[in-house]
Structure 1
Amino acid sequence: MHESPIINVGFDIDLSVVIMLIVTCAIVFILAKMSIRNLSVENPSKLQNFMEWVVDFVQGLITSTMDYKKGRPFLSLGITLIMFIFVGNMLGLPFGLVFDYTNAASATFFGHPLTPVVEGLANGSHGVEIAWWKSPTADAAAAMGLALIVFVLVHYLGIVRNPKHYFAHYFKPFFFFFPINVIEQLSKLLTHGMRLFGNIFAGEVLIAVLLKMSAVWYGAIASVIGLVVWQGFSIFVGTIQAFVFTILAMVYISQSLETDEDH
């Protein structure tokens, strides 16, 4: 696997993740902006039709998890999550951007040395390959960051909008279940983020392995066939993971807002 372009500014920053998050945000913003240009009822554009389909799809996710009157304020959140994660999942599939650094002096970013290059060359490596382009969701910190946003929102809604049921559920069905219920909440955070990270990261690892196979003549044909098959499967996996992450977010929100009357 290739190294990440990490710099230290008192703490480590993975530049590839920062860059790819910005690229993902830009693509989602441009898609959203273009879809509402020249809105038409009689002759809607293909992008407008696509965005309307996304809105209807997310509305369906919300109504499947809670009463739509409660869930309507989270429609924008759901649309943003599913589009952001889908686009992020897809970015690492079509191509990669890898540079081989053999000189530590050239491996800098605005005066900050790339830590993996400096350490690798100091340990005797002839060159260090740095990957600048990848899916942001293939990074554990990015995936867990998305999960943490949902986690904080869910518990904020429970405490502010539904405090009686929120605090009571920690002691159900019995008082001594409190530690187990706390662990359950923490496990939701972990599985929510790591499921997304694990699936996308594994896909990019296999793509890297298949590309390595193409370096030798007898692996070229197999790697090309494997890449075509795996790229198609990765699109499917990336789409499913965007759906799973979003619907779980809606499920967790519905659980924080539910009352005894909802049962």
Structure 2
Amino acid sequence: MHLSPIIELGGLRFDLSIILMLLVTCTIVFVLARLATSNLSVENPGKLQNFMEWVVEFIQNMISSTMDLKKGKPFLALGMTLLMFIFVSNMLGLPFGIVTNYEDPAKATFFGKPLVTVQELFAEAHTANAEEHPHAAVQWWKSPTADAGVAMALAGLIFLLVHILGMFRNTKAYFKHYVQPFPFFLPINLIEQFSKLLTHGMRLFGNIFAGEVLISVLLKLGALGVAGSIASVLGLVVWQGFSIFVGAIQAFVFTILTFVYISQAIETHDEH
């Protein structure tokens, strides 16, 4: 597996690849949204405007399938942002990757800051065998959602949003459901809430991470000669197409689960 380019600042570790990819994702989503709304026209809408209108309608249908549309309309922007952000994030690692190789730990730096993962790798290798000459491959470009921290951070934000909405918009029913159908169900209901957080984030991470691992395995087939190169190219073509489908499905699943959790928090039992 490739190493992550991590530097240490003030005792904290920062993954530069994640920071870079999140900035790229935000930029792409912002540019798409800006282009789609820059020249709006009722009589002659452009292709991008038609696409964004389809996305809006798609999100509205998602909301209406999980809750009353009147209550769900304020979450339209949230749904569009989640769907676009996660889909773009899932796609970034598919077309290509950027990997730098290091034979000398002194050269593994970023603006004078050493890459701690590379330093640790060389230190461990030299401790085990002083004559060994390790090789470090650092990956700078990948899908940010292929990182567990990013996926769980997204799930954590939704988790906080859902419970804040429940406490302030549906206070009585929200707290009451923790002791239903009987008070001794409180521990089980609490475990259920935290399991939602875990599965919400890890489902996204697991699918995207597994896809990128398989791509790296297929790329290595090229080192097995002509037959390996042919198998690598064919495998990549098939898997790239399937990965686009998986990335779109995971963006959809994450977004619709967000609406499901919100509806459970803000609607009373009689409204479900």
The TM tier, using the shorter chain, reads over 0.9
Secondary structure of 1:253's aligned partner: helix
Partner residue in 1 for 2:113? 112
Match of 2:128 in 1: none
Q: Displacement, 1:107?
A: 1.1
2:232 to 194, 206, 223: 223
Which letter does structure 1 place at the counterpart of 2:243?
A: S
| The one of 213, 217, 240 aligned to 1:209 | 217
- Distance in 2 between residues matched to 1:202 and 1:131, nearest whole Å: 16
After TM superposition, the runs of 4+ consecutive aligned structure 1 residues lying more than 2 A away are none
What SS does the corresponding residue of 2:223 show, helix, strand or coil? coil
Q: Counterparts in 2 of 1:80-229, with a 5 A limit? A: 80-122=81-123, 123=125, 124-217=132-225, 218-229=227-238
**Contact 1:102/1:121 (CA < 8 Å) preserved in 2?**
no
1:133 partner SS: coil
Q: 1:60-102 CA deviation, whole Å, 9 max, x = no partner?
A: 1000000011000000000000000000000000000001011
TM-score calculated relative to the size of structure 1:
0.98
SS of structure 2 residue aligned to 1:94:
coil
Give the deviation of 1:195 after TM superposition.
0.0
How many equivalent pairs are there?
263
The one-letter code of the counterpart of 1:47 is: L
Between the aligned partners of 2:73 and 2:162, the Cα distance in structure 1 is 15
Q: Cα gap change, 1:183/1:125 in structure 2, threshold over 3 Å: closer, same or farther?
A: farther
Deviation at 1:126, TM superposition (A): 2.9
Q: Distance in 2 between matches of 1:57 and 1:188?
A: 24
Deviations 1:24-49 (A, max 9, x none): 00000000000011111121111111
How many percent of aligned residue pairs carry the same amino acid? 67
Which secondary structure does the structure 1 equivalent of 2:4 belong to? Answer: coil
Deviation at 1:234, TM superposition (A): 0.4
Gap regions ≥5 residues in structure 1 = none
Secondary structure, aligned partner of 2:78: helix
| Residue number in structure 2 paired with 1:66 | 67
1:132-161 deviation digits (Å, cap 9, x = unpaired): 000000000000000001000000000111
Residue 6 of structure 2 aligns with an amino acid whose one-letter code is I
**What is the Cα-based RMSD across aligned positions, in Å?**
1.0
Give structure 2 stretches of 5+ with no counterpart: 126-131
What TM-score results when the alignment is normalised by the length of structure 2? 0.95
1:36 correspondence with 2:45: no
Letter in 2 for 1:126: P
Q: Report whether the alignment pairs 1:235 with 2:235.
A: no
